[in-house]
Structure 1
């Protein structure tokens, strides 16, 4: 039950990551074409990286430390972009909650 809850939280955090990156893109101080491109393109880029390297059924199999590094890089990027969009506290919370969830999942025996 606990592991299932942690996995559900991990999934919700991944969705929040995409929303955070999109928020950054749509709040750029540029013309609407740039905002739309950044608001849709940046989350798409994160989703592709996540699908290729970080997901349980990743297209590229990485050793556990490299996979964890890629996941952390995605979340730190999302947190930084959210901070740059004027939301530093939610950006820090996104990264912190992901780190705690990942640590608890690791302790519960879930592979990276």
Structure 2
């Protein structure tokens, strides 16, 4: 049973990671006023998200290893930023659903394991 839960959670986590990047890109496009600023903000926010994820949170080999509690808190915070972007950008229900799914995924990952 544990392998079914962790396998399903791995799929959910991957979908959340993609959703995080999409939300960051969406923020940049929504925030910029000109085509240039929209492009720079969208690309910059997405790249910043990728860097933070790769350095601190990527499964299977991030470069900076944090204590487990700090890692779980950082992962939750990053996902909640994405949920906030969605909620304040006119997608309130999507943002709430994203936040709930993210917190459930983090709890499963750090209690049941991966």
Q: Say yes or no: TM over 0.5.
A: yes
| Contiguous gaps of at least 5 residues in structure 1 | none
Q: Describe how 1:1-112 pairs up with structure 2 within 5 A.
A: 1-28=4-31, 30-56=33-59, 57-110=61-114
TM-score, normalised via structure 2 length: 0.86
Task: Answer yes or no: is the 8 Å Cα contact 1:13–1:98 preserved in 2.
Answer: yes
**1:85-110, Cα deviation, whole Å (9 max, x unpaired):** 22222122111101112222334233
TM-score, normalised via structure 1 length: 0.88
Task: Answer yes or no: is the 8 Å Cα contact 1:82–1:90 preserved in 2.
Answer: yes
Q: CA RMSD in A?
A: 1.5
Aligned length: 110
